[in-house]
């Protein structure tokens, strides 16, 4: 992709010239407001030939063709698309002179590079989201280009560049991934000798346990958490902090309240954290968004960190019960929380009193705190946990 596909160089105007068709010209004069000249208009140099205070930059309004290569994509069913090359043609909307001048004045000679980057980033996000949300079979049936064009292409870039043409010119698929399970074997009885199919002890007597059999299996609770990643949120995070990506990220909006949960290995710097909050608040249309930055590798660690972000006192953390099952997560809260946070035996109080005003919304956030079982914090947590069913209840008092 060329660096200056949309603009020419910013040069000093030394002689009279006319704006040609298919071009507009941003005209900069020292100490004066920039002007935009239309096709056919004259460009006049400075009256004093020794000062050269007038500079001009041509901007193309004709279709501009670009190629974008996106690598390392993953489909919904776990198939790898090593690379995809996309051809896109975009055209500047000439009917927005104020917007063009605003960008020209702000970006100056780098306007072309800025527009190029906006197109590249938008097309890359489009490709990653479209591939991620479809299986390889669906993409093969409908075609990658048609799938992206139908649902995922943005209407415009920076509100100025509209898409004129779009095509996928190359796809490089990795070999199909096949998940192979080891052949099944009879379970080992821990309360007696192994038995054959007839119910009698297997021939040869009780088998001697091998060193492998003596190794305790990893429990479900010790396994790394399988967290979900919202494609749109991840794209926004990657734009701000490409080197510090979260393990998982999800969001939910309930009525006017929204929450984003991200599981990170390290918190982002303060400035970038505030930028992330601004981006997510705009995406979810909530200027009081809760941004919870949790930590942890296992499900239990993530859940305990989530409660800490909501303002759970440290003395209560030891009393939390987190049970991780094959397809569920059960959280048991101490009865003492019923008095402090408005909880009953049946679980969180959905009226919004629980943890109200005590929630910590994470760095860079200005959230409203806990809003109950039906609030966005729990809804976002459920989405983050994906296929595992979440149950939250409170112990009864004796």
Classify residue 221: in a domain, yes or no.
Answer: no
Looking at the structure, tell me whether residues 133 and 74 fall in a common domain: yes
For 108-131, write each residue's pLDDT tens digit: 888 888 898 889 888 988 888 888
For 335-374, write each residue's pLDDT tens digit: 666 554 444 443 333 333 334 333 334 444 444 444 455 6
Rounded CA-CA distance 57/20 in Å is 13
Average per-residue pLDDT in the chain? 76
Q: Which residues contact 203 (CB under 8 A, 6 or more apart)?
A: 196
Confidence (pLDDT) at 256: 79
178 pLDDT tier (thresholds 50, 70, 90): low
Domain count for the chain: 3
Classify residue 342: in a domain, yes or no.
Answer: yes
Q: Pick from 136, 158, 173: which residue ends a domain?
A: 173
Classify residue 190: in a domain, yes or no.
Answer: no
CATH, residue 70: 3.30.479.30
Looking at the structure, tell me whether residues 265 and 293 fall in a common domain: yes
Q: What is the residue whose two structure tokens read 């902090």?
A: 241
**pLDDT tops 80 at residue 387:** no
Classify residue 273: in a domain, yes or no.
Answer: yes
Q: What is the 3-state secondary structure (H, E, C) of 328-354?
A: EEEEEECCHHHHHHCCECCECCCCCCC
Looking at the structure, tell me whether residues 15 and 110 fall in a common domain: no
4 pLDDT tier (thresholds 50, 70, 90): low
For 40-99, write each residue's pLDDT tens digit: 998 888 777 666 678 889 999 999 999 999 988 888 888 888 899 999 999 998 888 888
Cβ pair 64, 56 in contact under 8 A? no
Classify residue 219: in a domain, yes or no.
Answer: no
Looking at the structure, tell me whether residues 56 and 145 fall in a common domain: no
Segments forming the whole domain that contains residue 19 = 11-60
Among the residue ranges 31-45, 80-94, 165-179, 369-383, the one predicted with the least confidence is 369-383
Classify residue 258: in a domain, yes or no.
Answer: yes
Classify residue 202: in a domain, yes or no.
Answer: no
Rounded CA-CA distance 205/64 in Å is 79
């Amino acid at each position: 992709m060329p660096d200056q596909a949309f603009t020419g160089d910013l040069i000093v105007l030394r002689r009279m010239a006319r704006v040609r068709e298919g071009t507009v010209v941003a005209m900069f004069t020292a100490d004066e407001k920039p002007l935009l000249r239309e096709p056919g208009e004259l460009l006049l140099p400075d009256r004093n030939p020794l000062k050269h205070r007038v500079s001009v930059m041509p901007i193309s309004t004709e279709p501009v063709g670009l190629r974008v290569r996106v690598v390392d994509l993953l489909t919904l069913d776990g198939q790898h698309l090593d690379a995809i090359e996309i051809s896109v043609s975009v055209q500047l909307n000439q009917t927005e002179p104020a917007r063009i001048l605003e960008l020209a004045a702000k970006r100056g000679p780098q306007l072309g590079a800025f527009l190029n980057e906006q197109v590249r980033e938008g097309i890359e996000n489009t490709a990653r989201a479209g591939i991620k949300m479809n299986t390889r079979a669906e993409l093969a049936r409908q075609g990658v280009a048609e799938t992206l064009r139908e649902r995922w292409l943005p209407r415009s870039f920076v509100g100025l560049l509209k898409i004129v043409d779009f095509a996928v010119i190359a796809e490089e698929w990795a070999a199909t991934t096949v998940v192979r399970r080891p052949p099944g074997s009879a379970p080992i009885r821990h309360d007696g000798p192994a038995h054959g199919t007839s119910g009698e002890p297997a021939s040869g007597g009780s088998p001697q346990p091998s060193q492998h059999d003596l190794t305790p299996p990893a429990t479900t609770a010790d396994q790394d958490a399988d967290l979900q990643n919202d494609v749109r949120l991840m794209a926004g995070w990657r734009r701000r902090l490409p080197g510090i990506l979260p393990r998982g990220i999800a969001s939910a909006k309930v009525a006017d309240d929204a929450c984003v949960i991200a599981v990170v290995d390290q918190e982002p710097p303060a400035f970038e954290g505030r930028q992330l909050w601004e981006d997510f608040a705009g995406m979810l249309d909530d200027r009081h968004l809760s941004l919870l930055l949790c930590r942890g590798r296992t499900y239990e660690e993530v859940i305990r960190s989530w409660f800490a972000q909501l303002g759970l006192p440290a003395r209560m953390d030891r009393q939390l019960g987190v049970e991780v099952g094959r397809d569920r997560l059960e959280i048991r809260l101490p009865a003492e929380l019923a008095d402090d946070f408005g909880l009953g035996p049946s679980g969180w109080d959905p009226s919004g009193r629980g943890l109200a005003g005590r929630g910590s919304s994470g760095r860079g956030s200005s959230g409203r705190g806990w809003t109950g079982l039906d609030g966005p914090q729990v809804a976002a947590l459920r989405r983050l946990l994906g296929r595992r069913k979440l149950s939250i209840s409170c112990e009864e008092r004796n």
